[in-house]
Copies of this chain bind each other. A is one copy, B any other.
Amino acid sequence: MATTASTVTDLCRAAKAAARPLAATDSGTRDAALHAIADALVARTPEILEANARDMEAGREAGLSDALLDRLALTPERIAGIADGARQVAALPDPVGELIGGGRMANGLELKKVRVPLGVVAIVYEARPNVTIDAAVLCLKSGNACLLRGSSSAAHSNAVLAGIAAQAAEGAGLPAGCLALVAGGGREELAELATQEGVVDLIIPRGGEGLKAALKGVATVPVIYAASGNCHVYVDAAADLDAALAIAVNAKTHRPGVCNAAETLLVHADVAEAFVPRVVGALRAEGVELRADERVRALAGGEDLVAATDEDWDTEFLALVLAVGVVDSLGEAIEHVNAHGSGHSEAIVTEDLAAALAFERGIDAACIYVNASTRFTDGGEFGMGAEIGNSTQKLHARGPIGLRELCTFKYVVTGDGHVRA
């Protein structure tokens, strides 16, 4: 299963060689390949389950937590779900060749700004073997050759999934080498992948802070870091408090382990007396552990509530834990969010148009919500189709990383012998 270092380079070169013919395929061919992948996954389910059983057994022996084992586990239903996801991506509009600007210039030159694939995209991910297929179909749909590097804990599952997908894709007419798994979990192989300047066009890591740090130290190719999210819900003086309650509870408890879950609740002092006891009660009823500032403790619970530390305002709990504080103004809320947020998803609950506008403009983040839960930050919810992660960086991709974000563009300029005077 281990890949030698030279094989990483070989796979990268093969992917680069495949990238140009792949970019030239029409969308019908790429979509047919995605359907072929979906069909093959369903047809070869027993093979996948067998490989997955080996990973599960090794995981149990290695003492993986139940949560990690659940992430690792495949079932016929999960495989059918992965296949269905591939068919949904096939149904999305083709980003390749999309005309995104242009016109006739003053001198008669015709200018087109056309979306084109990046070339070779590498995805580095942990645990979940479904990412093998999710990432592959997004890359292939967007005309990019795809290099996958999963974790060693899912090595058997990933190898079978990637093998089936590559075979199906090539069988459907995509160029050989356009999809490959870089096996081997070592940091040396990661470093080799991350230094393929001129060969690999983009690396997207999907994983924890350790993976990010490992890449930051070595990467010379461009990296888009799938984001962490220290997200806030701010309940304004002019909030509808029923809506605020529903949004705060949803943003924290709907799926607490993901990056768009809320980690801090801020309440305007004018509504604190009415709202804080209600929201504290509702959150605790949902099993949320609160870290409260002095004013929240005075309004609800007192000694019973854990006092928030300075660190809590900067922490992405990724669990049923929420920091709660009172602010004296909208301006103070905006300052707090900009100082402590990670630029991911930030919500205001207000009926006041001016407050909504000030929040929308004043917060420096990928996604600003007015009277809606932060949980909507998602490529599917944004009408972009599937996503490969969320970005909090400002260059190229901010927010959900979907098909368009896996592309670049080129200018095509047509004249009839134009020379510059």
Residues of B within 8 Å of A419, CB to CB, are 246-247, 249-251, 254, 372-373, 375
Cβ-based interface call for A210 (8 A): no
Interface residues as binary, A400-421 with B (CB distance below 8 Å gives 1, 0 otherwise): 0000000011111111111110
**In the complex, are the beta carbons of B414 and A370 less than 8 A apart?**
yes
How far does the alpha carbon of A373 sit from the alpha carbon of B411 in the complex, in Å?
14
**In the complex, are the beta carbons of A381 and B105 less than 8 A apart?**
yes
Cβ-based interface call for A202 (8 A): yes
How far does the alpha carbon of A365 sit from the alpha carbon of B420 in the complex, in Å?
20
**In the complex, are the beta carbons of A371 and B414 less than 8 A apart?**
yes
Residues of B within 8 Å of A23, CB to CB, are 361
How far does the alpha carbon of A250 sit from the alpha carbon of B415 in the complex, in Å?
14
Interface residues as binary, A206-245 with B (CB distance below 8 Å gives 1, 0 otherwise): 0000000000100010101000000000000000101100
Q: Which of B222, B362, B411 contacts A382 (CB 8 A)?
A: B411
Cβ-based interface call for A99 (8 A): no
Cβ-based interface call for A356 (8 A): yes
In this complex, which of A242, A366, A398, A418 has the most chain B Cβ atoms within 10 angstroms of its Cβ? Answer: A418
Residues of B within 8 Å of A81, CB to CB, are none
Which A residues between 169 and 194 are near B, CB-CB below 8 angstroms?
none
**In the complex, are the beta carbons of B366 and A410 less than 8 A apart?**
yes
Q: How many residues of A contact B (CB 8 A)?
A: 66
Residues of B within 8 Å of A151, CB to CB, are none
Cβ-based interface call for A396 (8 A): yes
Cβ-based interface call for A63 (8 A): no
**In the complex, are the beta carbons of A415 and B24 less than 8 A apart?**
no
Beta-carbon nearest neighbor of A394 in chain B? B408
Beta-carbon nearest neighbor of A248 in chain B? B419
Cβ-based interface call for A109 (8 A): yes
With both chains docked as a complex, state the minimum distance between the C-beta of A340 and any C-beta of chain B, in angstroms: 12
With both chains docked as a complex, state the minimum distance between the C-beta of A367 and any C-beta of chain B, in angstroms: 5
With both chains docked as a complex, state the minimum distance between the C-beta of A199 and any C-beta of chain B, in angstroms: 12
With both chains docked as a complex, state the minimum distance between the C-beta of A194 and any C-beta of chain B, in angstroms: 14
In this complex, which of A201, A254, A365, A376 has the most chain B Cβ atoms within 10 angstroms of its Cβ? Answer: A376
Q: Which of B250, B362, B368, B412 contacts A413 (CB 8 A)?
A: B368
**In the complex, are the beta carbons of B247 and A360 less than 8 A apart?**
no
Cβ-based interface call for A119 (8 A): yes
**In the complex, are the beta carbons of B373 and A418 less than 8 A apart?**
yes
With both chains docked as a complex, state the minimum distance between the C-beta of A394 and any C-beta of chain B, in angstroms: 4
Beta-carbon nearest neighbor of A361 in chain B? B24
**In the complex, are the beta carbons of A376 and B20 less than 8 A apart?**
no
Residues of B within 8 Å of A119, CB to CB, are 364, 394
Residues of B within 8 Å of A220, CB to CB, are 216
Cβ-based interface call for A72 (8 A): no
How far does the alpha carbon of A103 sit from the alpha carbon of B222 in the complex, in Å?
31
Cβ-based interface call for A118 (8 A): yes
**In the complex, are the beta carbons of B20 and A338 less than 8 A apart?**
yes
Using CB atoms and an 8 Å cutoff, list the residues of chain A in contact with chain B: 20, 23-24, 103, 105-107, 109, 111, 118-119, 201-202, 216, 220, 222, 224, 240, 242-243, 246-247, 249-251, 254, 338, 356, 360-362, 364-373, 375-377, 381-383, 393-396, 398-399, 408-420
In the complex, besides A23-B361, A371-B415, 10 extra interface pairs with C-beta distance below 8 angstroms are A20-B362, A105-B381, A109-B381, A222-B395, A243-B416, A247-B419, A367-B410, A370-B412, A372-B413, A395-B396
What 9 pairs between A and B have smallest CB-CB spacing?
A372-B415, A243-B417, A250-B419, A394-B408, A375-B420, A372-B418, A396-B396, A395-B396, A370-B414
The 25 sampled A-B contact pairs (Cβ below 8 Å) are A24-B361, A103-B383, A106-B383, A111-B382, A118-B394, A216-B220, A240-B417, A242-B417, A246-B417, A247-B419, A250-B419, A254-B419, A367-B411, A367-B413, A369-B413, A369-B415, A370-B412, A371-B414, A371-B415, A372-B414, A372-B418, A381-B420, A395-B396, A398-B408, A398-B409
